[in-house]
């Protein structure tokens, strides 16, 4: 054991991507009104490029293996919040057994919002459909009953009130990407707008 290495402060690593500031509270950013989605009609649908659909009811989602990731979130409007603990289902679990050769994904929400990302960014233990935050139900204004969580990209990619994901052969911009925001949105490379 090396005491020097062991004692190295965690803060030696940068916690904040460039151009971000730390916030303790949690701003609400919604492009429209908060949709109210009753749990008995809620569903999550993955639509493959073949048109094949894979559906989960609320109870089915809750019956899948659950994970409890603690991650940092970074909004393109420059606030970051560190160490938020969520609970939900990994996209790896949902994609298990789905046959696809698509390379892109478009997440879409109750209420009409959408965001696009490469399908690979939803894989590899980096994306979840979450229903719980800091031990309690995800509040409606923050995307409850369930939202997408893709914390390694700017938080606009994490579609609130998520309803499904379309698997696409060709990339298709979502709500903010159509309005000039970056197609990929890596906060560590400060990919805020098209051309960054
Ligand atoms: N459906 C939907 N999802 C959304 C948005 C939205 O307007 N509608 N805003 C995005 C943006 S810009 C951010 S920063 C986060 C904000 O999540 P919060 O309101 O829980 O902080 O949700 C993202 N997901
Ligand atoms: Mo945002």
* Domains (range + CATH), the chain: 40-189 (3.90.420.10)
Distance 30 CA to ligand 2 centre (A): 8
Q: At 17, phi and psi to the nearest 5?
A: -60, 160
Cis peptide before 145 (omega within 30 of 0): yes
How long is the chain? 196
pLDDT score of 76: 98
pLDDT score of 5: 52
Question: Which residues approach ligand 1 with their CB closer than 6 A?
Answer: 26-31, 75, 109, 111, 113, 142-143, 155-156, 158-161
Closest CA to 110 of 62, 75, 147: 147
Regions of the chain where pLDDT drops below 70: 1-13
Q: How far are the Cα atoms of 44, 85, 97, 149 from residue 138, in angstroms, in the given order? A: 16, 11, 28, 12
pLDDT score of 6: 52
**∠ CA 69-97-158, rounded to 5°:** 35
Query: Ligand 1 pocket check: which of 158, 175, 182, 185 to mutate, most ligand atoms within 8 Å of Cβ?
Result: 158
Q: How many CA atoms lie within 13 A of 117 on its CB side?
A: 26
Euclidean distance between CA atoms 41 and 5, whole angstroms? 52
Q: Are 162 and 147 in contact (CB under 8 A)?
A: yes
pTM of the shown model:
0.94
Integer-rounded Cα radius of gyration of the chain: 17
Distance 77 CA to ligand 2 centre (A): 6
Euclidean distance between CA atoms 51 and 45, whole angstroms? 11
Atom index in ligand 1 nearest the CA of residue 176 equals 12
């Amino acid at each position: 054991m090396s005491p020097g290495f062991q004692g190295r402060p965690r803060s030696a690593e940068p916690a904040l991507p460039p151009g971000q500031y730390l916030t303790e509270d949690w701003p609400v950013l919604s492009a429209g009104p908060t949709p109210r989605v009753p749990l008995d009609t809620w569903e999550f649908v993955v639509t493959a490029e073949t048109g094949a659909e894979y559906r989960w009811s609320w109870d089915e989602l809750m019956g899948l293996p659950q994970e409890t990731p603690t991650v940092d979130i970074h909004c393109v409007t420059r606030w970051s919040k560190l160490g938020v603990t969520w609970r939900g289902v990994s996209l790896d679990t949902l994609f298990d057994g789905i046959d696809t050769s698509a390379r892109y994904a478009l997440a879409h929400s109750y209420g009409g919002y959408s965001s696009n990302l490469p399908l690979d960014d939803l894989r590899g233990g980096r994306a979840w459909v979450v229903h719980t935050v800091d031990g309690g139900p995800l509040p409606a204004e923050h995307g409850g009953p369930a939202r997408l969580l893709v914390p390694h990209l700017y938080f606009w990619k994490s579609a609130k009130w998520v309803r499904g994901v379309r698997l696409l052969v060709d990339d298709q911009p979502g709500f903010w990407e159509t309005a000039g925001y970056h197609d990929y949105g890596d906060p560590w490379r400060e990919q805020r707008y098209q051309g960054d």
